[in-house]
């Protein structure tokens, strides 16, 4: 895995002055249990316990209509 590890960074951010974070997983097009558990849930717990003020997780594209239409267009390109 790439470093720095997310859990380590989330634990350090409040002491570095970052009270609010916005988290997304841009390399994924759908949430899986690992993403939800590790990034959305555990990540929030780690950040908030370290003194964070606000943790927002932006979910993956999943079955959003705009994403499905975009994927259809990509697949139909010659």
- Residues forming beta bridges with residue 43, ordered by sequence position: none
User: With DSSP H G I counted as helix, E B as strand and the rest as coil, what are the percentages for the chain, rounded to 5?
Assistant: 50, 10, 40
Q: Which domain holds residue 18?
A: 6-76
Q: Which residue carries 């558990």 as its tokens? A: 37
Q: What is the pLDDT of residue 59?
A: 83
Q: Is residue 1 part of a domain?
A: no
Q: What is the pLDDT of residue 1?
A: 64
pTM given for the model: 0.76
Q: What is the pLDDT of residue 77?
A: 87
**Which mean pLDDT values do the consecutive 10-residue runs of the chain (78 residues) have?**
89 98 80 82 97 93 83 89
Q: Is residue 19 part of a domain?
A: yes
Q: What is the pLDDT of residue 14?
A: 98
């Amino acid at each position: 895995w790439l470093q720095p590890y997310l859990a380590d960074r989330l634990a350090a951010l409040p002491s570095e002055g970052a009270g609010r974070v916005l988290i997304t997983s841009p390399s994924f097009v759908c949430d899986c249990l690992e993403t939800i558990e590790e990034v959305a849930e555990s990540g929030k717990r780690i950040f908030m316990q370290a003194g964070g003020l606000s943790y927002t997780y932006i979910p993956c594209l999943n079955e959003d209509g705009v994403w499905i239409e975009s994927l259809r267009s990509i697949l139909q390109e010659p």
